Structure formats: structure tokens, C-alpha cells
A = this chain, B = another copy of it.
Amino acid sequence: MVISNTKTPEITSPSLIEMAQSTQIAARELAVLSTQQKNQALGAIAHALEAHTKEILAANEADYQKAEEEGIPKALLARLKLGEKKLKTAITGVLSVVNLPDPTGITEIHRQLDEGLILKRITFPIGVLGVIFEARPEALIQIVSLAIKSGNGVILKGGKEATQSCNTLVEIIHQALAQTQVSTNAVQLLTTRSEIQELLKLDKYVNLIIPRGSNSFVQYIQANTNIAVLGHADGICHLYINKVADLEKAIKITIDAKTQYPAACNAIETLLVDEEIAPEILPKLAKALQEKEVELRGDSQTLKIIDIKPATSQDWATEYCDLILSIKIVPDLEAAISHINHYGSKHTDAIITEDPTAASLFLKLVDAASVYHNCSTRFADGFRYGFGAEVGISTQKMPPRGPVGLEGLVSYKYQLTGNGHVVATYTTENGKQLEHKDL
């Protein structure tokens, strides 16, 4: 193995290694199943979840009561609570993954290197995913369906508040899979926090870690594993109102991008306003935002126009996840782009303008996974992009970048088929050239 673990070679729990080995074996079997076989497994899961609704909701209710007694914050309680409606939506989600195209087995390159020597590049599952997610039971259902459809095994670790919900869900999923071609070992659940440490060492068996959570959590994971990490992280997103903006659009989009769901990673944290239109638009914008109970913090130039709290330099680097917005006046497009490239988290940034040249420059020069023109940053989402679902949003520069759905969960293999072909035929001395004809 080239990619072996030099940082943390000692593994303490043999049972976890065995479990990961069994997931790897199950994943290799799953990788070569037909689309129909994988869809059958998803159908069985959807059916079983529906049949065991009562049991699932009871387990979730127990988690909820325990969490409530422990006094966890209301926002987290709301996420933890499953309820019949959310469960139904999640089951519909499983069935919608059935209808998505299989991301594996797609021929990306088909090339004749020479007579009878045929190269194909074919998409193929990554192997085993390690997904660490928040205390949100329906996330488990979604992750499992995406993993199975993309042909990957998955080792899950949910937030501890959802332990009973996750246990019950995986038990039901296992019962369902037992009647299909997908091995139950393809889906595994870790139940203790200490197992995360161990998971990070299993680079021989786990091919991609997907940590969902805070920036600091994702950073912690990256600093402690040699396994590839898909950084599903929060975002510092910007909206820049250019001097040639349509003011009505600007206000409407600002309100949506900040207030429609302020805790989402694709909500904006900073508004950049061109100095030429700031005196006209800022009072109107401030009024509209304050009506939505948004706390505003402005730079010194902004404070000359509207009476709000001053922003500190810290504000430009802060993701509030709340009804707070920092506002900065910029001299021009270039300054806006430069601010975004300096403070942004490469998630999603938008420009409001009626000037196509300004829009085009912004889309080209802003270094982010998603760059928008005249629409709300809140569209940055796998469902909205039409991926059917998402495991997360990557703010890394290497693919998969941005919202990651099924297609982001595959890699590829090169297959070369010959008829006794050897390289010696094509060396300089022997002179024969490869032809590289795309088929």
C-alpha cells in the first residue's frame, strides 16, 4: 500500500479493524452489482423503514427526551427530532435515489491505442466511506442511500444525541439488506466517540472520510488522518452589490440570502456594496433587513450612511450562522473580488449587477466552488443543483468540489485490453507509434 499510515500506526481495537475489513469486502462485492440490484436494495430499505415507522419514532422520541433533559440547545433539538413527516420525506428521498442515474460504469474515455489495444476509463466506486455526521437521524438514511447507489460501503458515526435513533435505523436497514444482494456489512455504525479516533487510522480500509460539522471539527479530522477528507464545512459567503445593480433585485436577494435560513452554510455573512450606489441602497436595505430582525455591523464608510453597530476586522472572517450581517463599502469590482478571495471560504459568492462584463469578471475571478450572478447564495445545494441528494458541500479546490451528490462519490479505473501487446514494440528503436484514436 502506498498510502499507509505513518502518523498514527498503532491501532488498538481489533474488533474495529475486523469490522472495517468486512466493510471493505462487502464494498468490493457491492461495487460490481448491477444498477437493478442496488435499486432493489434501496427499495427494500424504503419499504422496511416505512413498515417500522413506529419503532423508529419511538427510538427517536427516547433520544429526544434524553437530550431535552440534558438541556441541549433548541436548534439541535429541532434537528434531532425526526417525527412522522421528516421520516416520510426521508423515505421518499430513498426512492428518489432509485430514480437517479447510476454514477458507476460510465465510460469516460474509449480509445484505440493501436490495432486491438483498447483503453477505457470507467467510473467506479471509491470503496469505503467514513461519514461522521450531526445528530440528525434522517441524514443517516440519506447517506446510506447515496452510498449504496454509488456502490460504496459506508461506516457511519452519528452525533451521540441520536444514538438510539441511529441504532434502530441501522438495525432496520440491515434487516432489509439481508434479503437483497447487498451485504449487511456494507453499512456499519460506530456508536462511541472514541471510535472516531480509530476510524481515522484505518487508511487500509477506508478510502474517504466525510466529516460534517464545524470548521474546527473538519480541521481536526484533516490534521489527524492520512485518509482523503471531503471537507463538508461551513461557509463565509458574500454578496456583492455592484454599482450597476438593479436595486429591487439586490434587496430581494439580500433578504433571501441572509434570512431565509441563516444557520445554513450557504447563507451570506458579509455584504459588499459599491460606493457609488451605497448612499442610495443602504438605507433601504437596512430597513428591509432590520424588519427581518437582522443585526447589522458596518465598516466606517457604511456608518456614515446608516446608523448601525461598527464592524471589526474580526467580522470579515466570521461565520455567524445567525441573523447578523456585516456590511462593507468597496470602491469597485476589483476590491470586492479581492475581499472575497481573502476572507471567503471558497463556498459560494454572488454578484448583483446588470453589467454583463462585471458579472463575467466576477464569475471568473472569484475563487469559490459556486459563483453566482443575480441570484441567492442559498441555491448552493445538491438538491437544488439537481443531484437528487448530497452528502455535503466541499470547499476544497480538488474535485469533488461544491455540493457533492452521487457523481462525486465515484472514482474511475483504466481498463486496457490487448492481444499480446508489449511496450517493446513502441520504443524509439522499434519505431512503431501508438495511434490514440478515440472511439
Contact = CB atoms under 8 A, between A and B. Distances in A.
A384 interface: yes
A26 to B, nearest CB: 13
A346 interface: yes
Interface string A392-430: 000111110111000000011111111111111011000
A228 interface: yes
A188 interface: no
B398 A208 contact: yes
A376 interface: yes
Contact of A415 (B1, B113, B371): B371
Nearest to A426: B384
A386 B207 contact: no
Given A385-B119, A416-B375, A422-B253, A222 B398 contact: no
A408 to B, nearest CB: 10
Interface stretch (A49-57, A174-182, A362-370): A362-370
B372 A385 contact: no
A378 interface: yes
A414 B228 contact: no
A2 B231 contact: yes
A252 B369 contact: no
A219 B260 contact: no
B411 A398 contact: yes
B426 A414 contact: no
Contacts of A365: 28, 32
Nearest to A354: B419
Contacts of A416: 370-373, 375, 379-380
A161 interface: no
How many copies the complex holds: the figure is 2
Interface in A185-243: 207-208, 215, 218-220, 222-223, 226, 228, 231, 233-235
A399 B399 contact: yes
Given A127-B367, A364-B32, A411-B398, A231 B376 contact: no
A404 to B, nearest CB: 11
Given A228-B397, A363-B417, 8 more contacts: A6-B219, A28-B367, A256-B423, A260-B423, A376-B422, A398-B411, A401-B411, A401-B412
29 contacts: A2-B345, A2-B347, A3-B219, A3-B222, A6-B222, A32-B365, A113-B384, A119-B386, A127-B367, A207-B398, A228-B228, A253-B422, A255-B422, A256-B422, A260-B423, A359-B417, A370-B415, A371-B415, A371-B416, A374-B419, A375-B416, A376-B418, A378-B422, A379-B418, A380-B416, A384-B426, A399-B399, A399-B411, A402-B414
